[in-house]
Amino acid sequence: MSTSQQAQTRTRMFARVIGPFLVIVIATTVARTSDMRTLLSEFDANFVWPWVTGAFVLLSGLIVVALHQYWRGAAPVLVSAMGWLTALKGVFLMAFPKTYVSVADSALDATSWWWTGFVIMGLIGLYLTYVGWAPTPTRSTAQATGSVPDLPRAA
């Protein structure tokens, strides 16, 4: 397997995880919109939650950053960008939890921006889910080697 094929396979594997994750998170957040302010205030009430959450979020992002260094094509760029954004989110949660919660609280007040961001993230999630789980086109061995199948010859 060539390096390019390995990178494409790795992109598909990460897309299989990141895509459904985004779709599920967005769907449950939309379904529980009325609970978001309460969840945010409870999250902010305890100093441990932002740090522990940030540590796991940072770890998740660093795994993607370390294992996916392929930036050619829409899906690979989205996977790599999600890795970097996730790592940055983890750092901000750990280092600046009050600022992070304040920005999140402001985002809840900006309803149109909040919904726009969710629609964009949901579409990215659907696209990555498709990229990760759609069957890949396969070539038969005869086509791959360039040989012609045995056909009866006319005399």
Q: How many CB atoms lie under 10 A from the CB of residue 47?
A: 10
Residue 146 lies in a domain: no
Weakest mean pLDDT among 17-21, 44-48, 83-87, 94-98: 44-48
| Angle in degrees, 0-180, between the axes of helices 74-95 and 111-133, rounded to the nearest 10 | 130
Is the full-model pTM beyond 0.95?
A: no
**Domain hosting residue 85, numbered range:** 3-130
106 burial class (0-12, 13-18, 19+ CB within 10 angstroms)?
A: exposed
| Domains: count for the chain | 1
Percent of the chain, pLDDT > 70? 89
Alpha-carbon torsion angle 8, 25, 103, 107, nearest 10: 110
Confidence of residue 152 (pLDDT cuts 50, 70, 90): low
Indicate whether 150 pLDDT > 80: no
Q: What share of the chain is helix, strand, coil (3-state, %, to 5)?
A: 80, 0, 20
Residue 149 lies in a domain: no
Condensed to tens digits (0 to 9), the pLDDT of residues 22-37 reads 999 999 999 998 899 8
Alpha-carbon distance 13 to 131, whole Å? Answer: 9
Condensed to tens digits (0 to 9), the pLDDT of residues 101-134 reads 999 888 888 888 888 999 999 999 999 999 999 9
Residue 58 lies in a domain: yes
Residue 143 lies in a domain: no
Condensed to tens digits (0 to 9), the pLDDT of residues 62-79 reads 999 999 999 999 999 999
Residue 147 lies in a domain: no
What is the reported pLDDT for 1? 72
18 burial class (0-12, 13-18, 19+ CB within 10 angstroms)?
A: buried
Indicate whether 142 pLDDT > 60: no
Answer for the pair 29, 118: CB distance below 8 angstroms, yes or no: yes
Alpha-carbon distance 14 to 28, whole Å? Answer: 21
Answer for the pair 14, 64: CB distance below 8 angstroms, yes or no: yes
Residue 150 lies in a domain: no
Residue 155 lies in a domain: no
Residue 113 lies in a domain: yes
